[in-house]
């Protein structure tokens, strides 16, 4: 369920911030599961990390455009 950049561009700043918080929470939970050897989908860690990067990049682009 990787986020597409077109879908992210359609969202507002508040929605992106909320999505980022959700992804960070999921990343924490995945790291915790990996540490306790209970991780079912190891590839999900990579997907979440990339989705976080996409959102942060988009937020940086928007803040640069405002400045």
Per-residue pLDDT of 6-54, as tens digits, reads: 999 999 999 999 999 999 999 999 999 999 999 999 999 999 999 999 9
Q: How far apart are CA 17 and CA 38, in angstroms?
A: 29
pLDDT at 1 over 60: no
Identify the pLDDT of residue 4. 87
- Do residues 55 and 13 lie in contact, with contact meaning Cβ atoms separated by under 8 Å? no
Q: How far apart are CA 34 and CA 37, in angstroms?
A: 5
Reading the block at residue 21, the tokens are 């918080």
pLDDT at 3 over 80: no
């Amino acid at each position: 369920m990787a986020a597409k950049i077109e879908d992210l561009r359609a969202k507002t700043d508040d929605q992106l911030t909320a999505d980022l918080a959700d992804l960070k929470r999921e990343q924490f939970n995945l790291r915790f599961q990996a540490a306790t050897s209970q991780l079912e989908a190891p590839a999900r860690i990579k997907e979440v990390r990339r989705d976080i990067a996409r959102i942060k990049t988009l937020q940086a682009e928007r803040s640069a455009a405002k400045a």
